[in-house]
């Protein structure tokens, strides 16, 4: 079960704090991101962070929640108009590239840091589990609808296919984060073939 949400902040101020924490995690790592850093970069007092979030773990959970919403929205947008297997695969590749290269959100880097931080925090671990569950369910629903529309012929149940597609994406993201200069084109090409097979292409 997910942890409880913190006290509600004014929308713009809450967003500033969450964005500052996400940027700090991408720049300094989870361990190196302090309330002092985040308060200064968000332009709020350190006491306000403590009052609304209580702990760094609680704020990291909010970063995870926000990133979950962003990734779900992107998947929905990119797949909505796809009418062939090739278009579905192209949309998934675009989503992966945006996730890896989005410097504003620090997508892949932040997720890697949060996975590491989850080893010592039940709160973050619970939220990460919910995040992946929501990603699998959402993409599974989209794939199920595409199959019903005759666009895809899935090799396995939709959520199983979704889990493998996310595993490919996360694996690429991890390797690229660790080795930004890696020539990933041949591996990406094989990944595309694998995705196309799973989708019935």
Ordered domains of the chain (ranges, CATH): 62-198 (1.10.357.10)
Percentage of residues of the chain with pLDDT beyond 70: 91
Task: Give 80 or 71, the one with higher predicted confidence.
Answer: 80
Say how far apart CA 177 and CA 112 lie, in whole Å. 9
Distance of CA 170 to the CA centre of its chain: 9
**Tokens found for residue 15:** 């967003």
pLDDT digits (tens, 9 = 90+) for 128-153: 888 889 989 999 999 999 999 999 99
The answer to whether 149 touches 187, Cβ cutoff 8 Å, is no
The answer to whether 88 touches 82, Cβ cutoff 8 Å, is yes
Say how far apart CA 177 and CA 163 lie, in whole Å. 21
Average pLDDT, the chain: 85
Q: What is the mean pLDDT of residues 58-82?
A: 84
Say how far apart CA 53 and CA 18 lie, in whole Å. 11
């Amino acid at each position: 079960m997910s942890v409880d949400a913190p006290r509600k902040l004014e929308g713009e101020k809450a967003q500033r704090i969450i964005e500052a924490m996400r940027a700090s995690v991408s720049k300094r790592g989870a361990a190196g991101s302090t309330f002092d850093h985040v308060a200064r970069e968000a332009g709020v007092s350190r006491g306000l962070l403590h009052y609304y979030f209580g702990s760094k773990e609680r704020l990291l959970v909010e970063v995870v929640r926000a990133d979950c919403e962003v990734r779900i929205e992107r998947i929905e947008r990119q797949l909505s108009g796809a009418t062939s297997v090739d278009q579905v695969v192209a949309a998934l590749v675009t989503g992966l590239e945006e996730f890896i290269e989005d410097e504003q959100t620090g997508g892949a880097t932040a997720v890697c840091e949060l996975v590491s931080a989850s080893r010592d925090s039940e709160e973050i671990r619970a939220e990460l589990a919910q995040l992946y569950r929501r990603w699998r369910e959402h993409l599974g629903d989209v794939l199920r609808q595409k199959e019903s529309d005759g666009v895809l012929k899935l090799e396995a149940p939709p959520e199983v296919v979704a889990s493998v597609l996310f595993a490919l994406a996360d694996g690429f993201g991890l390797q690229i984060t660790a080795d930004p200069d890696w020539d990933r084109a041949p591996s990406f090409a094989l990944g595309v073939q694998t995705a196309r097979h799973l989708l019935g292409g």
